[in-house]
Structure 1
Amino acid sequence: MDLKYIRNFSIIAHIDHGKSTLADRMLEITHTVPERLMRDQVLDSMELERERGITIKMQPVRMEYTSNLVVGLPSGSPTTKYVLNLIDTPGHIDFSYEVSRSLKAVEGSILLVDSTQGVQAQTLTTLAMAREEGLEEGRKIIIPVLSKIDS
């Protein structure tokens, strides 16, 4: 596969801002996980993660997505297949080293902010870590996204 169709990215945010939920929806939309196997926080596979309801270890996953919407081209035009390599990261400050490790492996990050809570301490910490890895210097990209806008 041509490298221009591969995206390596992470989801970073404060704890409980919706990282794992967003990852779940991406897995669902790309049909990476069969519908019968989908459950909340599907990437949180450790027993302790499931008990506490938080991500402790970063979790990579490979998804395939076929774009059927090409800007400027009529419907029925050729589609493009992308490989999306996602790393779901913890939000708790105690597991910041996992976020740091993931940022070294990606070309960009989705910075998720809970619309009901706004920017929190760990939001700023993960943003600073992303900046240190060059995610703001043009080598990599940060995409800010609001979660829980229906709350």
Structure 2
Amino acid sequence: MSQSRIRNFCIVAHIDHGKSTLADRLIEATGAVEKRQMREQLLDTMDLERERGITIKLNAVRMSYTARDGVEYELNLIDTPGHVDFTYEVSRSLAACEGAILVVDASQGVQAQTLSNLFLALDAGLEIIPVLNKIDLPGAEPERRAQEIMDLIGARREEILAVSAKEGTGVPELLEAVVARVPPPRGKEDAPLRALIFDSYYDRYRGAIPSIRVVDGVVREGTEITFGSHTDDVYHVDEVGYLQLGQRPAEQLEAGEVGYLVASLRDVRDARV
């Protein structure tokens, strides 16, 4: 797909402000998973995450979205932790994105971790889409909280979206905002391969499997790769694909795209983030 129709973004928020629930609504709205397969906090897969209701390990999902103008877009959502203990994981996510949805609880307002994650996103040069969540709550104060956001980042009132992740209110408008406001990636498709590793995990049968954002070039089965300063070893790519609530093999990943690769890596340290 042309880079002009790719949007790579994340969601940043204070803990319990509804980030994972909003991610679930976006996935549901784009049809990335059937409604009968939906479960709360779909991107949170670690047992501890589901038990405590927080996001620790990074997850990513590719969604296909047909905008109101009839154009189909590839949306890559990279989930981020909202808890203060996981700032490093947040910074890894941001490096793979061009935009960030800033979620603020309409009843609680801007909190400490809101600021921390926002400043990380601003330092990374991301386009910020501010969102007031939980507008369905009796204690919601959308105008007061919107003013807090305007004072914080200089946003105009009309740029601040109102949603209820629980009810799904405002989600279609948020998807349109992602398409309109998040810049597309600008990698060089004919350049040598460069990719950013933002996560990895170990599979007992296939070795370490890194999640990547292709910066320049193309990676496909048979491509020879190295991992920069970490090791001089040369690996041959066995498989590439998309992250779509699981792994979906593909012929190749092009500049701007997000996915995974398999290259018989023996140790996750060989693909250090």
TM, length-normalised to structure 2: 0.49
- Among residues 47, 66, 78, which one is paired with 1:87 in the alignment? 78
Task: Name stretches of at least 5 consecutive residues in structure 2 with no aligned partner.
Answer: 138-273
* Count of matched residue pairs: 137
2:18–2:103 CA contact under 8 A, matched in 1: yes
CA deviation after TM superposition for structure 1 residue 36, in Å:
1.3
The answer to whether residue 91 in structure 2 is matched with residue 100 in structure 1 is yes
Match of 1:8? 8
Match of 2:31? 31
Q: How does 1:111-130 map to 2 (within 5 A)?
A: 111-130=102-121
CA distance in 1, matches of 2:3, 2:125: 20
Match of 1:61? 61
2:98–2:125 CA contact under 8 A, matched in 1: no
SS at 2:43 equivalent: coil
Task: Name stretches of at least 5 consecutive residues in structure 1 with no aligned partner.
Answer: 71-78, 136-140
Q: Give per-residue Cα distances to partners, 1:30-62, cap 9 Å, x unaligned.
A: 110111110100110111111111111121110
TM, length-normalised to structure 1: 0.88
CA distance in 2, matches of 1:49, 1:99: 15
Match of 1:138? none
CA distance in 2, matches of 1:132, 1:91: 17
CA distance in 2, matches of 1:82, 1:134: 22
CA deviation after TM superposition for structure 1 residue 134, in Å:
1.6
CA distance in 2, matches of 1:32, 1:57: 20
Task: Indicate the structure (1 or 2) with the bigger Cα radius of gyration.
Answer: 2
Whichever residue aligns with residue 38 of structure 1, its letter is M
CA distance in 2, matches of 1:122, 1:37: 31
- Among residues 133, 138, 160, which one is paired with 1:147 in the alignment? 133
